[in-house]
Structure 1
Amino acid sequence: MKKKLLPFAASAAILMGNGFPAAQQVDTKNMNVLFIAIDDLNDWVGCFGGNPQVKTPNFDKFHANGGMVMADAHAPSTVCCPSRTALLTGVHCYKTGVYGNKNKLKRDPKAKDLVTLPEYFSKHGYYTLSMGKIFHKHPVPGQKELDSGQWAFDEWHKTFPGVGPASKKRPVCGVPNLPEEKGYHRIGFDWGPTKVNDEKQMKDYKTAVWAAEQLNSRDFGGKPFFMAIGFSKPHLPWYVPQKYFDMYPLDSIKLPKTLADDLDDIVDKNGKPIFRKSTTWLRMEKYGKHKEAVRAYLATISFVDDCLGVLLDGLARSKYADNTIVVIWGDHGWHLGEKQHYGKCTLWQESCRVPLMIKVPGLTPKNKKCYGVVNLIDLYPTLVDLCGLPKNPKNDGRSFAELIRNPDMEWRYPTLTTYQRGNHRIYDGRYSYIVYSKKGGEELYDHKTDPMEWRNLANNPEYAAIKERLKKYVPKTNEPEAPRNEISGESKREMAKKRKRVE
């Protein structure tokens, strides 16, 4: 659900609400970093205001205790692999050619030698360790173990096994598997309670417990640490204990607002519609499952909120509580029916906007929201800046450490999101401009008057100057797609067997 765009402050306040000076001079050099990734989480978090129904007490507690909400943060791409690759290498997708989940970083001649964020911290004296999904996972021929970015950390731990649903029937949600979508249920567009009603048995919860234990039992060789923890929920399938579904009675669920003819004004260069209502949206409509899907997503968010609480409480109990920068980020947004779409993979606001929170001890104020426009690709140079490390000249992003120190300052640098080759979105805090290279279509939205992106202004002559201004930031060249995963013949046969079993 959308909320109205709030105005930027014209200038920095002399004193913030908690008594901290507007431009803090806190020494953050060599602080530890706790880097928390949450897969497929959109802005449906209490302190972000994306959905008033959601229950996220631990996110909200973190916000109340100095976890600053970056309220206008965006993804470099709206797909897991390219978004994470851009964040972790500091280089945009259009330069590396990593446009999809099958593009493998270590097979990409333009990206394989880039020093990733954890490698950079290790190179400059940090002890780095990880558990959970940080890099996107890729198969390796002849090996059972996936390439999950093990090579990027001093210490890497395989995550715990997951817990399946209580029902043996698939799909659990009760929506028949349409013939043209046989593949989609294999990647899990499904929901339902798990076979255990104990969150402590879940993979993400165990990961949180493990991380909390590390923080309370180790000194990391006397070095500052960079700990990366990845939670897999609310990524599909939405299988969580029944108690989380019970938090959201079905008859109380409110659906995101939609417009029946929303997609009609998005046309190609020949005036033909570019988009149709997605097949998944039509299935939810046909079987009356919109409320159940929204409920399941909300339930899964509340589950991961509990996991986050375990980890943050562990940090609070440790000796590192006062010298650890905490970053919480989602890799892209997610549609729950908005613009007749479910999922990611669009250049609309619901896919592009991400939850991003940062706490710097002694620096970030309590209950503070910052409305400067930032991008996940900016995290690499920002953390390098905060921790006093030398700049990496290959970073495309812009450090917003200054904005963290002075969150009310004006910060209106346009930001870029890419989906597949040649399709880009430029957003400047008020307007978003979208261009599709192959079909020649354009979109332009004024988020001040149209936060739901219902009125495409791209062909309105009154907005021609704004469109031309934003168009200047669209990349002029786009690298060819990077090499995809190498799959051996044996691997292909194994995958075929798995598909047959599912079908």
Structure 2
Amino acid sequence: MNRRSFLSTMMVSSAGVALAQQLKSKGYNILFIAIDDLNDWVGCLGGNPQAITPNLDRYAREHGMVMNKAYCPATVCGPTRSALLTGKHATHTGVYGNGQNLRHAPKAKDLETLPEYFGNRGYHTLSSGKIFHKHGDKDGLDEGQWAFHEHIHAGGSNGKTLWEEKPEVEGIKAGGSPFAWGAVEGPTEKTKDYVTCKWAADQLERDFDGKPFFLAVGVSKPHLAWYVPQEFFDLYPLDKIEQVPLKYDDLDDIVRADGSPIFKPGGRFLLAEKTGMHKNAQRAYLACVSYADHCLGVLFDALAKSKYADNTIVMIWGDHGWHLSEKSHYGKTELWEESCRVPFIVNVPGLTPANVKCEGVVNLIDMYPTLIELCGLSPNKENDGRSFAKLLANPSMGWNEPTLTTYQYKNHSLTDGRYRYTWYGGKADGAEELYDHSTDPMEHTNLASNPEYKEVIERLKKYLPTHHEPDSPKNPDNDLKKGPKKSKEEKRAERKKQKAS
């Protein structure tokens, strides 16, 4: 009996035995891949049919299961990563913004993070790229290196910029990361994300002293600014780009109790609108998505050829969604579907079927307890999420308990896979949104004031948090973007140490 048949038989014949006990002897390794600011513009997710992502698509087709209704715990990099890595929602830790470092948050600093949990239980943990959100620190840049046995700066550089575009209009500010894009000299093999993925691929040739490994890999694109080698822009001729349809009145029905609007078009949207650069911006994002996919292909190929191919759990996830003109917005934040829904592909060898799109509702915060169960470890009682190991074994089962996404203090959104309900307790004094995705997947019509949906709202409201931890203190050293300045000798010693590793 082969591995797949063996596990399948166990699933159906041992209903009274915990899934963790069934899988405990498999000795799974973990490959944990984070992609910064990636939305559903991936071929196998169908968010934009123009997206060219052959490696992610092939991996999903041949190995992985696409979690089609996966959501983030928060719609900003720092809070979502803090939540999924500690297993606790922002409502319990107070980490609501990028300026808050979980290591300085009174309710988060003593939590055992996901890599620490595995590292303290026999796994060798290692990482490169962005896994934790980065913060300046008096002792140097805090990238979460303390959570791993090894944390490596793999290096890489984009090289000289060949051309660039940056929409500018007097009086309009983009805010946040630069709203700019262009082609860089490369070559691709020397750029940051490629070098990071190649480093991770090389680790699969190691033995780790016989220990299972937890390998975390962070890919930085498609985070702004959108600078990648020309070959990826060439995949998308500007005159062939199909622009996202614009709905200029889409924010009009999201109002406070007095009828005043809560939202207005964002600065990046206005810049793209007034300069006629919507297509240019969307092309640049697509180019960065294809670049990230290309880099990941190196890692996927190495895993397939390695001795770990048949006993390594792979979780590929984006940290939150990203708007590309929908809701008159470019970027993350806020609580609409485009911000909350994330790409998520899972492969548990011998358990998950390949080329399947699962419609069960899951949250990235659920990864922590799921990985624990799959690897046969004792549960972490601090986890807010719930394991979806059973769903992985049976992807067609009902799994639609409403899941939570938070943006800043007391603003929450819930989805059960059909309805999205949003409550603004902090931003707009109890204002609400409700959308029915069965008829309105782009969330154009706010149903919150429609009495016909009163029961739906009341059902979903029961899942709103009952505790709202106040904002944790801002990281005291956020101004230290790169940490204290280091001498040439210190830098040389660091490079030597990395090469030796």
Q: TM-score, normalised by structure 2?
A: 0.90
**What are the Cα deviations for residues 425-462 of structure 1, in whole angstroms up to 9, with x where unaligned?**
01111111001113121100001011010000000001
8 Å Cα contact 1:377-1:397 kept in structure 2 = yes
Question: Is 1:295 equivalent to 2:280 in the alignment?
Answer: no
Question: Is 1:27 equivalent to 2:23 in the alignment?
Answer: yes
8 Å Cα contact 1:165-1:192 kept in structure 2 = no
CA drift at 1:492: 12
Distance 1:22 1:224, change over 3 A: closer
**What are the Cα deviations for residues 451-496 of structure 1, in whole angstroms up to 9, with x where unaligned?**
010000000001011111111111123111111121388889999x
Map of 1:202 onto structure 2: 191
> Out of 381, 386, 393, which is 2:381 matched to?
393
Query: Quick check: 218-227 or 475-484, which moved more?
Result: 475-484
Question: Matches of 1:146 and 1:489 in 2, distance apart?
Answer: 11
**What are the Cα deviations for residues 113-163 of structure 1, in whole angstroms up to 9, with x where unaligned?**
00000000011111100111000000012x4x3100011001111241432
> Out of 451, 457, 475, which is 2:465 matched to?
475
Unaligned stretches of 5+ residues in structure 2: 13-18, 486-501
What one-letter code is carried by the residue in structure 2 that aligns with 1:283? L
CA drift at 1:282: 1.1
Question: Matches of 1:119 and 1:250 in 2, distance apart?
Answer: 46
Distance 1:230 1:492, change over 3 A: closer
What one-letter code is carried by the residue in structure 2 that aligns with 1:448? S
CA drift at 1:257: 2.6
What one-letter code is carried by the residue in structure 2 that aligns with 1:337? S
Question: Matches of 1:105 and 1:245 in 2, distance apart?
Answer: 37
Query: What aligned pairs does 1:480-499 form with structure 2 within 5 A after superposition?
Result: 480-487=470-477
Query: What aligned pairs does 1:123-134 form with structure 2 within 5 A after superposition?
Result: 123-134=120-131
SS at match of 2:215: strand
Question: Matches of 1:421 and 1:211 in 2, distance apart?
Answer: 37
What one-letter code is carried by the residue in structure 2 that aligns with 1:324? T
> Out of 438, 441, 444, which is 1:451 matched to?
441
What one-letter code is carried by the residue in structure 2 that aligns with 1:354? V
Number of residues of Structure 1 aligned to a counterpart in Structure 2: 469
Query: What aligned pairs does 1:174-323 form with structure 2 within 5 A after superposition?
Result: 174-176=166-168, 178-179=170-171, 181=173, 184=176, 187-196=177-186, 198-216=187-205, 218-323=206-311
8 Å Cα contact 2:402-2:416 kept in structure 1 = yes
SS at match of 1:260: coil
Map of 1:95 onto structure 2: 92
SS at match of 1:293: helix
Question: Matches of 1:489 and 1:420 in 2, distance apart?
Answer: 21
8 Å Cα contact 2:159-2:184 kept in structure 1 = yes
Question: Is 1:104 equivalent to 2:104 in the alignment?
Answer: no
8 Å Cα contact 1:22-1:405 kept in structure 2 = no
What one-letter code is carried by the residue in structure 2 that aligns with 1:191? W
CA drift at 1:258: 2.9
> Out of 152, 156, 159, which is 2:151 matched to?
156
8 Å Cα contact 1:39-1:234 kept in structure 2 = yes
SS at match of 2:459: helix
**What are the Cα deviations for residues 91-121 of structure 1, in whole angstroms up to 9, with x where unaligned?**
0011101001000111011000000000000
Distance 1:42 1:22, change over 3 A: farther
Question: Is 1:173 equivalent to 2:165 in the alignment?
Answer: yes
CA drift at 1:279: 1.6
> Out of 450, 453, 472, which is 1:463 matched to?
453
**What are the Cα deviations for residues 61-112 of structure 1, in whole angstroms up to 9, with x where unaligned?**
1011121000000000000000000000000011101001000111011000
CA drift at 1:183: 5.4
CA drift at 1:222: 0.7
8 Å Cα contact 1:76-1:86 kept in structure 2 = yes
Query: What aligned pairs does 1:323-402 form with structure 2 within 5 A after superposition?
Result: 323-402=311-390
Question: Matches of 1:386 and 1:347 in 2, distance apart?
Answer: 31
SS at match of 1:429: coil
Map of 2:74 onto structure 1: 77
Question: Matches of 2:128 and 2:453 in 1, distance apart?
Answer: 47
What one-letter code is carried by the residue in structure 2 that aligns with 1:193? A
> Out of 38, 44, 47, which is 2:44 matched to?
47
8 Å Cα contact 2:76-2:407 kept in structure 1 = yes
8 Å Cα contact 2:124-2:212 kept in structure 1 = yes
Q: TM-score, normalised by structure 1?
A: 0.89
Question: Matches of 1:481 and 1:154 in 2, distance apart?
Answer: 30
Question: Is 1:116 equivalent to 2:113 in the alignment?
Answer: yes
TM-align CA RMSD: 2.2
Between the aligned residues of both structures, percent identity stands at 57
Question: Matches of 1:472 and 1:240 in 2, distance apart?
Answer: 45
Distance 1:493 1:205, change over 3 A: closer
Distance 1:412 1:492, change over 3 A: closer
What one-letter code is carried by the residue in structure 1 that aligns with 2:198? V
SS at match of 1:48: coil
8 Å Cα contact 2:64-2:352 kept in structure 1 = yes
Distance 1:318 1:87, change over 3 A: same
SS at match of 1:27: helix
Map of 2:414 onto structure 1: 426
Distance 1:490 1:442, change over 3 A: closer
What one-letter code is carried by the residue in structure 1 that aligns with 2:184? T
What one-letter code is carried by the residue in structure 2 that aligns with 1:289? M
What one-letter code is carried by the residue in structure 1 that aligns with 2:71? H
